[in-house]
């Protein structure tokens, strides 16, 4: 699943490539507004809140989308078409005034709303380190509301901190020396939130550092624990452990940790 930094980078790319373009043809193919024509609207901007993308449509409308596990956005050039098998999975089509076409492929959440309703629709989300209204103190306060929740569960809850997904949660637990299943109340939440904000911003904005947590972008060395089950810890050499949270979890979520660098709370 794309995490907050992934969606932030996507918004930056779309902003750079299509912002300001008018839509001459196209439609929504999913959600409650399926069948709505997009012709006559302008792509006036792209914003993110956590893992959510908001496409501003002038005048006065917005398209809220979430990629979940499978969604993606693609742009085809003039006269180019998507393969038929891919085009069949398009949930958004927007032919632009420069003859390019913007496609939302396999996007599971597609919601058309008034621009003034966006804040209310996403109001349940916690603070996002990648937004200008980031509030670290509020994030710490939200994490402290349920001190018995595990570190991974508390950080994955988008109502506490928006944008952290499974990769970041596992890496941040390691960097904090916290056992992933320790109570969130047993760790320094302020330091954890500060570290999360720095990491997401680095990943979202620095070339070559996308989701690199070790400082080493080489293959197999960019993460401390995520995806490294059975391999030696890059810090101490201990074998990395992994646990499947739920066998039938559609997100195939796993939790990784180093039993020496992240000792359990006694």
2 is catalytic: yes
CA of 147: how far to CAs of 155, 173, 211, 266, in Å?
12, 16, 28, 16
Q: Which one of the listed residues 51, 93, 142, 228 is annotated catalytic?
A: 51
Tell me whether residue 159 is one of the annotated catalytic residues. no
- Identify the active-site residue in 241, 253, 254, 259: 253
Element (H, E) at 15: helix 4-18
Which two tokens mark 203?
């990943």
251 is catalytic: no
H or E element at residue 151: helix 151-156
Catalytic residue among 3, 29, 93, 111: 3
- What whole-number distance in Å separates Cα of residue 257 and Cα of residue 5? 22
Give dist(CA 91, CA 109) in Å, integer.
Answer: 9
Q: Which residues of 92-102 are buried (b: 16+ CB within 10 A; e: fewer)?
A: bbbbbeeebbb
Strands in 61-66's sheet, in edge-to-edge order, are 42-49, 52-58, 61-66, 109-114
171 is catalytic: no
Distance in angstroms (rounded) separating the CA atoms of residues 239 and 31: 45
Active centre residues (catalytic): 2-3, 51, 253
């Amino acid at each position: 699943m794309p995490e907050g930094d992934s969606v932030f980078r996507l918004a930056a790319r779309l902003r750079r490539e299509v912002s300001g373009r008018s839509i001459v043809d196209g439609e929504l193919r999913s959600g409650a507004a399926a069948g709505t024509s997009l012709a006559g609207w302008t792509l006036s901007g792209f914003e993110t809140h956590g893992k959510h993308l908001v496409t501003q449509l002038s005048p006065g409308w917005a398209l809220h989308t979430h990629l979940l596990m499978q969604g993606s956005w693609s742009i085809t050039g003039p006269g180019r078409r998507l393969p038929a098998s891919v085009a069949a999975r398009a949930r958004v089509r927007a032919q632009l005034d420069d003859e390019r076409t913007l496609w939302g492929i396999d996007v599971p959440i597609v919601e058309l709303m008034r621009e003034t309703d966006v804040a209310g629709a996403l109001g349940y989300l916690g603070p996002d380190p990648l937004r200008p209204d980031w509030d670290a103190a509020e994030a710490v306060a939200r994490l402290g509301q349920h001190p018995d929740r595990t570190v991974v569960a508390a950080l994955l809850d988008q109502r506490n901190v928006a944008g952290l997904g499974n990769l970041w949660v596992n890496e941040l637990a390691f960097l904090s020396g916290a056992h992933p299943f320790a109570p969130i109340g047993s760790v320094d939440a302020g330091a954890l939130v500060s570290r999360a904000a720095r990491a997401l911003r680095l990943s979202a904005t620095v070339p070559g550092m996308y989701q690199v947590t070790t400082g080493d972008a080489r293959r197999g060395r960019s993460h401390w624990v995520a995806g490294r089950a059975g391999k030696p810890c890059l810090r101490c050499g201990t074998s990395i452990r992994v646990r499947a949270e739920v066998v039938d979890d559609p997100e195939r979520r796993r939790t990784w940790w180093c039993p020496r660098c992240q000792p359990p709370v006694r």
